[in-house]
């Protein structure tokens, strides 16, 4: 087995902040590498709803190019403050302590990264106007599913089904690890 790929410096800093804060819920490296790759294709403003301590934001920042910027919202003010420290000297990243819905006037976004559980009822109807045409939505924290309709914990996964069938988006489920998947949806 080969050694794990080196992490970007900013991602390591975010992991350090997470550890010091006692925050254990963060973007997996597999998802982070996908985020960095997608961020490298975007222009304009990228957004993240649910910053935590900034690991996902750090992955996005490691990929952006040109004049692209990142806006990240975290409802928990102490987590937002911890994440803000990572990006204090970076004019291309703004972390705000706010509910995601307060940022709707800052869009549309070229890429939007969010936990599948947030925003509540975060189906396509809630998100469609927040993403520019051709923009990408990345929904994290799915368990891989090979069945149709998609099943999670013995029930139809309605949120996943909505995203995979919504005609305003072209959506694919991507396994990033044997136990983790994301949905990647491009707005038509």
Per-residue pLDDT reduced to its tens digit, 105-119: 999 999 999 875 655
Going by the DSSP 8-state scheme, the letter that residue 102 receives in this structure is G
70 Cβ contact partners less than 8 Å away, ≥ 6 residues apart: 45, 46, 47, 48, 57, 60, 61, 64, 92, 93, 94
User: How much is the pLDDT for 121?
Assistant: 59
Where helices occur in the chain by DSSP H, the ranges are 9-21, 29-39, 55-63, 77-86, 124-127, 158-165
Residue 157 has pLDDT above 80, yes or no: yes
- Domains of the chain by residue range: 9-187
Residue 108 CA to residue 117 CA, distance in Å, equals 21
Residue 1 has pLDDT above 50, yes or no: no
pTM over 0.75? The answer is yes
Residue 70, token pair as written in the block: 């990142």
- Higher pLDDT pick, 91 / 121: 91
CATH 2.40.50.100 holds for 9-187: no
User: How much is the pLDDT for 119?
Assistant: 56
Q: What CA dihedral angle connects 160, 181, 141 and 91, to 10 degrees? A: -110
Q: Which helix (H) or strand (E) holds 135?
A: strand 131-142
């Amino acid at each position: 087995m080969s050694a794990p790929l080196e992490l970007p410096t900013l991602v390591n800093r975010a992991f350090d902040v997470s550890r010091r804060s006692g925050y254990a819920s963060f973007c997996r490296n597999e998802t982070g590498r996908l985020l960095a790759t997608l961020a490298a294709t975007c222009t304009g403003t990228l957004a993240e709803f649910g910053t935590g301590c900034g690991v996902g934001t750090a992955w996005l920042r490691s990929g952006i190019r040109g004049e692209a910027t990142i806006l990240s919202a975290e409802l928990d003010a102490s987590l937002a403050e911890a994440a803000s420290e990572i990006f204090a000297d970076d004019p291309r990243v703004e972390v705000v302590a706010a509910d995601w819905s307060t940022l709707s006037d800052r869009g549309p976004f070229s890429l939007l990264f969010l936990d599948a559980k947030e925003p509540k009822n975060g189906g396509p109807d809630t998100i469609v106007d927040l993403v520019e045409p051709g923009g990408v939505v990345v929904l994290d924290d799915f368990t891989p599913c090979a069945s149709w309709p998609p099943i999670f914990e013995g029930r139809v996964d309605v949120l996943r089904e909505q995203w995979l069938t919504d005609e305003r988006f072209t959506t694919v489920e991507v396994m990033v690890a044997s136990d983790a998947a994301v949905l990647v949806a491009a707005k038509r």
